[in-house]
Amino acid sequence: METYKFDKSMELFKKATTLIPSGIYGHESPAILVPGSFPYYAERGQGSHYWDIDGNEFIDYICAYGPMVLGYNHPKVEAAVSEQSKKGNCFNHPGPVMVELAEKLVNLVSGMDWSVFAKNGSDVTSWSIQVAREHTGRSKVLMVSGAYHGAHAWCTPGHAGLIAEDRSNVHLFTWNDESSFHQQIEKYRGEIAAVIMTPYHHPAFGDSIMPADGWWQTIQKTCNEEEIVLIVDDVRAGFRLDPRGSHVYFGFEPDLVCFCKAIGNTHPLSACMGKDKFKNDASKVFLTGSYWNSSVPMAAACAVLDVMAEENSVKIMMDMGEKLMKGLEDLAKTHGLQVKISGPYSIPFMRFANEDNFLRNQLFCAEVTKRGSFFHPHHNWFLSSAHTEDDINKTLEHADAAYKIVKDEFGS
Amino acid sequence: METYKFDKSMELFKKATTLIPSGIYGHESPAILVPGSFPYYAERGQGSHYWDIDGNEFIDYICAYGPMVLGYNHPKVEAAVSEQSKKGNCFNHPGPVMVELAEKLVNLVSGMDWSVFAKNGSDVTSWSIQVAREHTGRSKVLMVSGAYHGAHAWCTPGHAGLIAEDRSNVHLFTWNDESSFHQQIEKYRGEIAAVIMTPYHHPAFGDSIMPADGWWQTIQKTCNEEEIVLIVDDVRAGFRLDPRGSHVYFGFEPDLVCFCKAIGNTHPLSACMGKDKFKNDASKVFLTGSYWNSSVPMAAACAVLDVMAEENSVKIMMDMGEKLMKGLEDLAKTHGLQVKISGPYSIPFMRFANEDNFLRNQLFCAEVTKRGSFFHPHHNWFLSSAHTEDDINKTLEHADAAYKIVKDEFGS
């Protein structure tokens, strides 16, 4: 079969580099993808599919890096967006939909009594730490080494433009390593305001790692004993494991939970929810942005939550993800290749088990993408509830051809 | 005349406080407005007018605190939004409109060679400081006391949840005070990465203060000599003084300029632009957010810039603002009241000259608002190009009635 060309993407990217530093920056940067084998610019989307500016069609397993959860251009979400847009988006005051959304979330998300809204995941992870500092009167924060909590100076994975003070109160421990965690707890006893963690560990350039037995119970028990605020960064996993919060999926009770991405099905919104005991502190920590009270993304989020409840989106994503990942695993075996599957089925990742350098995975994902299924070689994938069995079957065909090329190139 | 009631706003706000810390937070917080005299929730908008959930209609002189610049529901902007929305908003890649917008901005904004995009003003003011730190290898930042650069920890006007390290490298000087500026320059010589300033001083709870003669020349000359990066935070004033950047209006040349608010006419977008010499540094400082490459607000911004060029929006805003402020000044005299007008006519402010406590201004703005023109007693106002002479005339009628009440209450 003829594989895709990306001439228009490459051409526009070349122009972009004259106008924009790096041309495309951040998590969508093509610097980490194989040049000439991936699209750089999106034209339009529908359901689980999108088209790039060369006219290539892709079944999308990255889902805008998470924000697409029910499918692009979802009829019920876009109807709510359109209705609210006619009224307006950003005013001198919030719209009534802000209260409606807060009520829906408080009723839905387990153990959380209130909600605030912002635009970026970073807005709420950073704010939640300020709330914890206000509540405890302490300065220090513990986070997992390699975890992503956003692009603010205290947590960015970047290295440029930082100063020592940005992180002098942020201390690291190792995921699933109780002694590493307790070591930091003991070292900074009485100084720790917050422990911030994702519900499971999903680093870039690595396997996703689920919590070990007892891990969350240890974290929660220690935080309670030491009066440390336990913050869950559910930005990436939120609404893909359990609509009541990923802490329900893993069976623990955080103090504050941060959401973003899936909450608005591509419409820009983030939220921080918390327990009543932090509400007074939350009201004291200044929280604002020019568009944070905008009604359109909140109307989208209300529709998203309704659709998720109606169709049981999490089950669909889990089922489709399971079919995909088991299919990829089985196919790899038939080619004599070894793959390592990790993460929940709704947010899975795959790499080749016999390499650390991702070279097989880069070739594999490039060849799958060039045939019409967008896979990322270094970042976890996402399913949506718009993915169908037909999508998965087509993708497994693309994977079959790509595995053959990997086998031919690498031998095993 | 019957004045407005805000029963539904008050009722919904009461419910909101059970679900959201403070009910409404940040710059839209009603805590600083007169209870019962202002709307708390917006229902819809059209042109220079909006309606609250009680059905009250307002001529809007706050303009969503800046983001509304051409009028709510502007036909050309919303047509661009609708067309892009059908294709989609947030994908695995930017849309081609990102390059189109960057090109428009680079062609329009004076002295700037590249652009990046984000969501909040704070996103770009904070990032620009990282770029300056990367460029200079220095840590310290000078800013004007009382200036607003966003809600990140280094600059928030809030006090809760902060730690000493958030601001240990941020040092203050006084607007229009050359000796205060030079004192800090000398104290931290060789350590200062950036000076960040708004194009004129627009503090809350105070008069707007234009730059004194030679002020910007002093700032620019010193920054050049000391190899300090001069950052202009044009978030609030941008596109309301000169479409080429407010630095053109005041006649100086910054290194980096931050935009937000007016750029998208209520659609969420911010931008940082810079000179070529910082492009390499900019490409190194990690910059990302879940929705930062979204196409809908960029399509809106392209349309906004086109409309601004077609209709000369700045002139309209300046003319309408002049008519409003001169009218308010004249009317005050006829009532025997003393008012102080400040700021550019497109972003004006008014207070009573014979008080420091804003009590007259609170009563005046409440009474104007209750008659159908939204005025804020403590925050600068905004004009849009949708404001008409008829709007201004109606507002002056509202002001006439309100001045009478102030005179009756305060005597002078």
pLDDT score recorded for residue A36: 85
Class of domain B76-311 as given by CATH: alpha beta
A122 touches chain B (CB under 8 A): yes
A57/B252 Cα distance (integer angstroms): 48
Q: Which residues pair with B341 in a beta bridge?
A: B350
Say which of A88, A115, A286 has its CB closest to residue B45. A88
Distance CA B225, CA B288 (A): 33
B94-141 per-position pLDDT tens digit: 999 999 999 999 999 999 999 999 999 999 999 999 999 999 999 999
Please check whether residue A284 touches B, CB under 8 A. Answer: yes
Q: Which residues of B touch A282 (CB under 8 A)?
A: 21
In this structure, the number of other CB atoms found within 10 A of the CB of residue A386 comes to 26
pLDDT tens per residue across span B70-80: 999 999 999 99
B26 at interface of A, judged by CB pairs closer than 8 A: yes
pLDDT digits (tens, 9 = 90+) for B323-373: 999 999 999 999 999 999 999 999 999 999 999 999 999 999 999 999 999
What is the per-residue pLDDT for B35?
A: 80
* pLDDT given for residue B2 in this prediction: 86
**A65 contact residues in B (CB cutoff 8 A):** 92, 290
pLDDT higher than 70, residue A207: yes
For residue B88, which residues of chain A lie inside 8 Å, CB to CB?
42, 44-45, 50, 72-73, 266
Measured between CB atoms, which of B95, B106, B134 is closest to A41? B95
> In this complex, which of A22, A53, A64 lies closest to B90 when CB atoms are compared?
A64
Q: Quick: pLDDT tens for A60-95.
A: 999 999 999 999 999 999 999 999 999 999 999 999
Alpha helices in B28-177 (DSSP H): 75-87, 97-108, 121-136
Instruction: Indicate if the pLDDT at residue A380 is higher than 80.
Output: yes
Residue B352's beta-bridge partner residues? B339
Question: With 80 as the cut, is the pLDDT of residue A125 above it?
Answer: yes
Q: Domain extents for chain A?
A: 7-72+312-410, 75-311
> How many angstroms separate the CA atoms of A235 and A221, rounded?
23
pLDDT tens for each residue of B234-280: 999 999 999 999 999 999 999 999 999 999 999 999 999 999 999 99
| Distance in angstroms (rounded) separating the CA atoms of residues A236 and B259 | 28
Closest A-chain CA to B156:
A286
The whole-chain average pLDDT of chain B stands at 97
Per-residue pLDDT at A256 exceeds 90: yes
Report, at the CATH architecture level, how domain A75-311 is classified: 3-Layer(aba) Sandwich (3.40)
Q: What is the DSSP string of A100-132?
A: HHHHHHHHHSTT--EEEEESSHHHHHHHHHHHH
Under 8 Å CB-to-CB from B344, ≥6 apart: which residues?
A: B200, B208, B210, B237, B240, B241, B318, B321
Residue B33 has pLDDT above 90, yes or no: no
CB contact under 8 A, A25 and B283: yes
Residue B108, chain A, CB below 8 Å: the answer is no
Mean pLDDT (whole number) for A111-135: 98
The reply to whether A32 touches chain B by the CB within 8 Å rule is no
Q: What is the pLDDT of residues B187-211, one digit of tens each?
A: 999 999 999 999 999 999 999 999 9
Average pLDDT over residues B139-152: 97
Predicted pLDDT of residue A30: 85
Q: For chain B, say whether A137 makes contact (Cβ under 8 Å).
A: no
B121, B157, B289: residue with CB nearest A286:
B157
Q: In this predicted structure, what is the pLDDT of residue B138?
A: 98
Amino acid A248: pLDDT: 98
Q: Using CB atoms, which residue from B120, B267, B279 is nearest to A89?
A: B267
CB contact under 8 A, A288 and B27: yes
Report the 10 Å Cβ neighbour count for B198.
Answer: 23
A286 at B interface, C-beta within 8 A: yes
CATH topology match: A7-72+312-410 vs A75-311? no
Chain B interface includes A42 (CB < 8 A): yes
List chain B residues with CB under 8 Å of A149: none
Q: What CA–CA distance (Å, rounded) separates A291 from B270?
A: 10
pLDDT, tens digit (0-9, with 9 covering 90-100), for A336-376:
999 999 999 999 999 999 999 999 999 999 999 999 999 99
Q: In this predicted model, what pLDDT tens digit does every residue of A33-65 receive, in sequence order?
A: 778 899 999 999 999 999 999 999 999 999 999
Decide if pLDDT at A327 tops 80: yes
Question: What are the φ and ψ backbone dihedral angles of A133, each rounded to 5 degrees?
Answer: -65, -40
Angstroms from B191 CA to nearest CA on chain A: 12
Which of B25-29, B225-229, B286-290, B317-321 has the weakest average pLDDT? Answer: B25-29
3-state helix, strand, coil in chain A (%, to 5): 40, 15, 45
Q: Decide: helix, strand or coil at residue A179.
A: helix
- Residues from chain B that touch A7, judged by Cβ atoms under 8 A, are none
Q: Which residue, among A116, A24, A118, A153, has the nearest Cα to B125 in the 3D structure? A: A153
Percent of chain B with pLDDT over 70: 100
Closest C-alpha among A199, A201, A191 to residue A257: A199
* Confidence label for A31 from pLDDT (cuts 50, 70 and 90): confident
Quote the pLDDT of residue B279.
98
pLDDT band at B34 (very low <50, low <70, confident <90, very high): confident
8 Å CB contact of B121 and A292: no
The pLDDT score that the predictor gives to residue A33 is 76
Mark yes or no for CB contact A85/B103 under 8 Å. Answer: no
Confidence of residue B1 (pLDDT cuts 50, 70, 90): low
Question: At residue B8, what are phi and psi to the nearest 5 degrees?
Answer: -65, -40
Helix (H), strand (E) at residue A193: strand A192-197
| Chain B CB within 8 Å of residue A174 CB | no
Contact B289 A151 (CB under 8 A): yes
Structure tokens belonging to residue A238? 């939120």
Extract the tokens encoding A250.
């893993």
| Residues of chain B above pLDDT 90, percent | 97
Domain spanning B7-72+312-410, CATH architecture:
Alpha-Beta Complex (3.90)
How many A/B residue pairs have CB atoms within 8 Å?
331
Check pLDDT > 70 for residue A152: yes
Q: Is the pLDDT of residue A32 over 70?
A: no
Look at residue B36 and tell me whether its pLDDT is greater than 90: no
CB atoms B152 and A152 under 8 Å: yes
Q: CA-to-CA distance for A116 and A271, rounded, in angstroms?
A: 5
Contact A20 B114 (CB under 8 A): yes
A98 touches chain B (CB under 8 A): yes
pLDDT surpassing 80 at residue B12: yes
Give the pLDDT confidence score for residue B32 in this predicted structure: 67
Q: What is the ipTM of this complex?
A: 0.97
In what helix (H) or strand (E) does residue A197 lie, and over which residues does it extend?
strand A192-197
Mean model confidence pLDDT for chain A? 97
Residue A384 region, left (φ>0) first, then alpha (ψ -120 to 50), else beta?
beta
B72 neighbourhood in chain A, CB within 8 Å = 88, 91
In this prediction, residues A131-137 reach a mean pLDDT of: 98
pTM > 0.90: yes or no: yes
